[in-house]
Structure 1
Amino acid sequence: MAYDRDQATHEFTRWSESYDRSILQWLLFGPSHRALIRRIRTVVEDRPARILDVGCGTGVFASRIRESLPNAKVWGIDLVAEMLTKGAERWRQHAGHIQPAQADSERLPFASGTFDIVTCANSFHHYPHQDRAIAEMHRVLRPGGRLMLIDGYRDGLWGWFIYDVCVAGVEGDVHHASSKRFRELFAQAGLRAIAQKVHRGPAPFLLTEAVATDPAPSSIFPSPHFRGVMGLANREASASAIPRED
């Protein structure tokens, strides 16, 4: 059976209890977050920026963006309510600067051309329809904006063993795309100036980055579900979010 949204939801609901204490926070998430923040800082410098983090989990990376880039405003979306709930204290600490919401990566609840940067760190292998997710990330970027996506680097023998054997053995039939497949997905979505960098280490990861062209037309999907988290997206907070125009 192909990996699907229900499996991803089940996996992350189970994982939400220990996510912030996972060894992966040290082994993979920390190094990859630092790499992404270096790239974002290079691109935006100290200018104000609107950043969307897709698959934000408990908000660890979103909070690191705010701490490193105080002029940034961050939106975070995650499919799994329990992950967002576990980040309640972070959302409170950064209220007004980070806007979390429960939403689907294939149906982002934002208008086309909204963000300067879209990030996705270490969750892409859980997305059942990776081409749709990339197309949506491109759609919500302004022309000239950047998509920065990090996932496990599985092309070498060690990466294959870590991700296609060990991770897949624990997480199920997830799919870590090859570097070639990432280039194909980005090009298919209309992104340009595609660049990649491999970060070596015990858990090697690949950063794929590209520049948005003109905003893509609205997707074929109907208006997505949009659910606020922990009282931060009540009517007033929801009004501050950037709605999708369908």
Structure 2
Amino acid sequence: MNEYKEKSRATFNAQATTYDTTMQGAHARRLYPQVVAALADVPEAGELLDVGCGTGALARLVLEQRPLSRVTGLDLAPNMVAQARINLQSFGERAQVVEGDSDRLPFRDESFDAAYCNDSFHHYPDPEKASFEMWRVLRPGGLLVVGDAALPAPARALMNAFIPYSSEGDVRMYSRREFERILGRWFSTVAWENAGNHACIVRARK
């Protein structure tokens, strides 16, 4: 397994039981309402994919606010998968959680109406391949929503200079132009917007 993936798996395995209540998951939690809002025009009974689902906390919000939808969560860290299954068990067949890799999604082509990944994209060693995989599993017209960190150019450059020394599996913080280039290779439209301090929401349409 790729070194970055090994670090990410170890980091999030260790955080699985505390991620929802500590500072480690605070940035991700701040984006939950905005990711949910970005899914507003997805069909009410849609099939959704949560890539890098973590503890399933965001999937739970999606399922609560979209009572006709089904969500499949995927995560690289087995402890996160186990925690998500516990957190989502009350939704029965509307929720499924699998262990898997963002750049080898274990789903057939055109399986989902929408996909989202929150505070996860900057952990992908091969963002182009992960983007293709998310594009591949979406139905025509399907929506991808990415919530992630966003920093001004000087701070982003400094962060990216230190990321190789991180023990948590971070790979790179991306600019608006980089998101548009990476996702635009596959998706027909890419829309980027600020989401408060140090964050962004990106919508890409197949």
TM-score (norm 1): 0.75
| Corresponding position of 2:114 | 117
- SS class of match (1:181): helix
- Percent sequence identity over matched residues? 27
Q: What amino acid is the match of 2:179?
A: F
- SS class of match (2:20): helix
8 Å contact kept, 1:3–1:174:
no
What is the alpha-carbon distance in structure 2 between the residues aligned to residue 130 and residue 52 of structure 1? Answer: 17
Structure 1 residue 131 and structure 2 residue 128: aligned?
A: yes
- In structure 2, the CA distance between the partners of 1:34 and 1:8, relative to structure 1 (3 Å rule), is same
Q: What amino acid is the match of 2:28?
A: F
Query: 1:169-188 maps to which residues of 2 (within 5 A)?
Result: 169=166, 171=168, 173-188=170-185
1:67-111 deviation line (CA, Å, top 9, x unaligned): 111111100000111111123321321221111000111111111
What is the alpha-carbon distance in structure 2 between the residues aligned to residue 151 and residue 13 of structure 1? Answer: 20
Structure 1 residue 34 and structure 2 residue 28: aligned?
A: no
- In structure 2, the CA distance between the partners of 1:164 and 1:83, relative to structure 1 (3 Å rule), is farther
8 Å contact kept, 2:13–2:77:
yes
What is the alpha-carbon distance in structure 1 between the residues aligned to residue 62 and residue 161 of structure 2? Answer: 30
1:136-177 deviation line (CA, Å, top 9, x unaligned): 0000001101111111002345566678769x7563552112
Question: 1:6 deviation in Å?
Answer: 1.4
Note the residue ranges of structure 2 that are not aligned, 5 or more in a row: none
8 Å contact kept, 1:146–1:211:
yes
Alignment partner of 2:63 out of 63, 66, 71: 66
Alignment partner of 2:189 out of 173, 190, 193: 193
- In structure 2, the CA distance between the partners of 1:16 and 1:68, relative to structure 1 (3 Å rule), is same
Structure showing greater Rg: 1
Question: 1:18 deviation in Å?
Answer: 2.1
What is the alpha-carbon distance in structure 2 between the residues aligned to residue 155 and residue 124 of structure 1? Answer: 18
What is the alpha-carbon distance in structure 1 between the residues aligned to residue 47 and residue 161 of structure 2? Answer: 34
8 Å contact kept, 1:155–1:179:
no
What is the alpha-carbon distance in structure 2 between the residues aligned to residue 85 and residue 31 of structure 1? Answer: 23
Q: What amino acid is the match of 1:4?
A: Y
What is the alpha-carbon distance in structure 2 between the residues aligned to residue 6 and residue 169 of structure 1? Answer: 12
**RMSD (Å) for aligned C-alpha atoms:** 2.3
